[in-house]
A = this chain, B = another copy of it.
Amino acid sequence: MTQKKLNELKALLAEVNDLNNAAAVLGWDQATYMPAGGSPARGRQMATLAKVAQEKFIDKRVGKLLDGLAKYEESLPYDSDDASYIRVTRHDYERALKVPPAFLAELNIHGAESYQTWTEARPANDFARVRPNLEKTLDLSRKLADFFPGYEHIADPLIDFADYGMKASSIRALFKELRENLVPIVKAITSQTPADDSCLRKHYPEAEQMKFGEDVVRQLGYDFNRGRIDKTHHPFMTSFSIGDVRITTRVKEDFLGETLFSNVHEAGHAMYEQGNDPAHEGTPLAGGTSAGVHESQSRLWENIVGRSRGFWEYFFPILQSKFPEQLKGVSLDQFYRAINKVEKSLIRTDADEVTYNLHVMLRLDFELQLLEGKLSIRDLPEAWHERFESDFGIVPPNDSDGVLQDVHWYGGIIGGAFQGYTLGNVMSALFYGEALKAHPEIPNEMKQGRFGTLHSWLTQNIYRHGRKYTAPELVKKVTGADLTIQPYIRYLKEKYGALYTL
Could you tell me the distance between the alpha carbons of A241 and B44 in the complex, rounded to whole angstroms?
11
Given A14-B44, A25-B29, A44-B14: A241 touches B19 (CB 8 Å cut-off): no
CB distance from A42 to the nearest CB of B (A): 7
Could you tell me the distance between the alpha carbons of A419 and B246 in the complex, rounded to whole angstroms?
41
Copy count, this protein chain = 2
- Cβ-defined partner of A26 (8 Å) among B22, B34, B36, B37: B22
Contact B230 A38 (CB under 8 A): no
- Cβ-defined partner of A18 (8 Å) among B49, B242, B244: B49
- A230-248 interface with B by 8 A CB criterion: 230, 240-244, 246
* Interface stretch of the complex, out of A88-96, A219-227, A457-465: A219-227
A181 within 8 A of B: no
A48 within 8 A of B: yes
Could you tell me the distance between the alpha carbons of A36 and B227 in the complex, rounded to whole angstroms?
9
Question: Which chain B positions have C-beta within 8 A of A480?
Answer: none
Could you tell me the distance between the alpha carbons of A320 and B205 in the complex, rounded to whole angstroms?
31
Question: Which chain B positions have C-beta within 8 A of A19?
Answer: 48-49, 52
A228 within 8 A of B: yes
Question: Which chain B positions have C-beta within 8 A of A37?
Answer: 223, 225-227, 241, 243-244
A282 within 8 A of B: yes
Contact A41 B225 (CB under 8 A): no
Nearest CB to that of A16 among chain B residues?
B48
Contact B25 A225 (CB under 8 A): no
**What does the 1/0 interface line of A241-283 toward B look like (CB < 8 Å)?**
1111010000000000000000000000000000000000110
A residues in contact (CB < 8 Å) with B: 14-15, 18-19, 21-23, 25-26, 28-29, 33-42, 44-45, 48-49, 51-52, 56, 223-228, 230, 240-244, 246, 281-282
